[in-house]
C-alpha cells in the first residue's frame, strides 16, 4: 500500500525538472561557476563509487545555502561558493554533504513525505501537522547522516577530513552577517551538534588510517 502511494506521487526526474526550472527563473545560473565546482563533484563521485552522472549548478542571488534536488542536481548559492573561495576542501565538504542527500534519496523521501501527508488526510491543518512532523524527524537524522557521509566521502577522495569542521567553525566565527547564518540554520541542525558529529567521524577515520 505504501509503495503504491509512493509511486503515485510522481517521478523524480520530472519533479526535479519542474523545481529547477522555477529556481532558475528566479536565480539565474552562473555557468562558469557551475563549471568550476563540477570537477569537485566528479572527483567525489569517482572515489566513492557513485556511477551515475550528477550536476552541480551555481545560482546567483539565491539565499546562502546548498541543496540536493530529487533526481541528479545539486544547487549551490553563489554566495556560498564565494565564501569557499580558496578553500577547495571546504567546498568539497559542502558538495559531499549534498552528494549524500542525493545518493541516499533524502530529497525524494522528503517530497514524498510531504505529498503523502496530503494524501493521508483531507484536513489541511492535520496534513500540515503530519508534514511538519515527518519533515522534522526526517531532516534532522538525514542531516547528521549527510555530515558523516560527507566526511567519509572527502577522506576517500583525498580531501581533508578536517574540512567539514573547518567550514562550520568559519560559519560560527561571525565572518558572515547573522541573517545569512539564520537562513542556513532554518534547514540544518545547530552548528555545535553538527561539529560534534563531524569531529567524531573524522577521528574514527584518522584512527582507522593509522591502524
Shortest Å distance, C-beta 146 to Zn ion: 5
Distance, C-alpha 42 to centroid of its chain: 16
Q: How far is the CB of 39 from Zn ion (least distance, A)?
A: 22
Q: Is the Cβ of residue 128 or residue 185 nearer to Zn ion in the bound state?
A: 185
Per CB under 5 A, the segment of 14-22, 119-127, 143-151, 165-173 that binds Zn ion is 143-151
Least distance to Zn ion, CB of residue 31, Å: 25
Distance in Å, CB of 52 to Zn ion, minimum? 20
| All residues at 6 or more sequence positions from 48 whose CB lies less than 8 Å from its CB, including other chains | 99, 153, 156, 157
Q: Within 13 Å of residue 140, how many CA atoms lie on the same side as its CB?
A: 8
In 3D space, the residue among 70, 67, 94, 77 whose CA is nearest the CA of residue 27 turns out to be 77
Instruction: Count how many Cα atoms sit within 13 Å of the Cα of residue 65 in the half-sphere of its side chain.
Output: 16
Nearest to 140 by CA among 104, 111, 117, 106: 106
Using the rule CB under 5 A, give the single segment among 46-54, 77-85, 122-130, 146-154 that binds Zn ion.
146-154
39-98 positions binding Zn ion, by CB under 5 A: none
Span near Zn ion by CB under 5 A; candidates 24-32, 139-147, 176-184, 195-203: 139-147
Total binding residues for Zn ion by CB under 5 A?
A: 2
Shortest CA distance to 44 belongs to which of 54, 35, 36?
A: 54
Region binding Zn ion by CB under 5 A among candidate stretches 14-22, 115-123, 145-153, 155-163: 145-153
130/146 with CB nearer Zn ion: 146
Distance in Å, CB of 108 to Zn ion, minimum: 14
**Between 143 and 197, CB nearer to Zn ion:** 143
Return the exposure string of 96-130: e unless at least 16 CB atoms fall within 10 Å of the residue's CB, then b.
bbbbbbbbeebbbbbbbbbbbbeeeeeeeeebeeb
Residues making contact with Zn ion (CB under 5 A) = 143, 146
Amino acid at each position: 500500500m505504501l509503495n503504491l502511494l509512493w509511486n503515485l506521487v510522481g517521478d523524480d526526474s520530472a519533479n526535479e525538472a519542474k523545481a529547477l526550472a522555477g529556481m532558475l527563473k528566479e536565480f539565474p545560473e552562473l555557468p562558469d561557476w557551475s563549471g568550476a565546482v563540477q570537477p569537485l563533484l566528479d572527483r567525489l563521485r569517482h572515489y566513492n563509487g557513485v556511477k551515475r552522472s550528477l550536476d552541480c549548478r551555481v545560482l546567483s542571488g539565491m539565499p546562502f545555502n546548498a541543496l540536493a534536488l530529487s533526481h541528479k542536481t545539486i544547487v549551490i548559492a553563489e554566495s556560498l561558493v564565494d565564501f569557499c573561495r580558496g578553500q577547495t576542501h571546504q567546498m568539497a565538504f559542502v558538495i559531499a554533504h549534498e552528494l549524500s542527500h542525493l545518493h541516499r534519496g533524502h530529497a525524494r523521501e522528503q517530497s514524498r513525505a510531504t505529498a503523502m501527508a496530503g494524501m493521508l488526510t483531507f484536513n489541511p491543518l492535520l496534513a500540515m501537522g503530519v508534514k511538519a512532523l515527518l519533515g522534522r524527524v526526517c531532516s534532522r537524522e538525514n542531516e547528521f547522516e549527510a555530515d558523516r557521509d560527507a566526511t567519509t566521502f572527502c577522506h576517500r577522495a583525498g580531501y581533508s577530513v578536517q574540512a567539514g569542521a573547518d567550514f562550520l567553525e568559519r560559519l560560527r566565527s561571525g565572518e558572515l552577517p547573522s541573517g545569512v547564518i539564520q537562513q542556513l540554520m532554518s534547514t540544518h541542525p545547530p552548528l555545535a551538534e553538527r561539529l560534534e558529529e563531524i569531529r567524531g567521524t573524522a577521528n574514527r577515520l584518522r584512527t582507522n588510517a593509522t591502524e
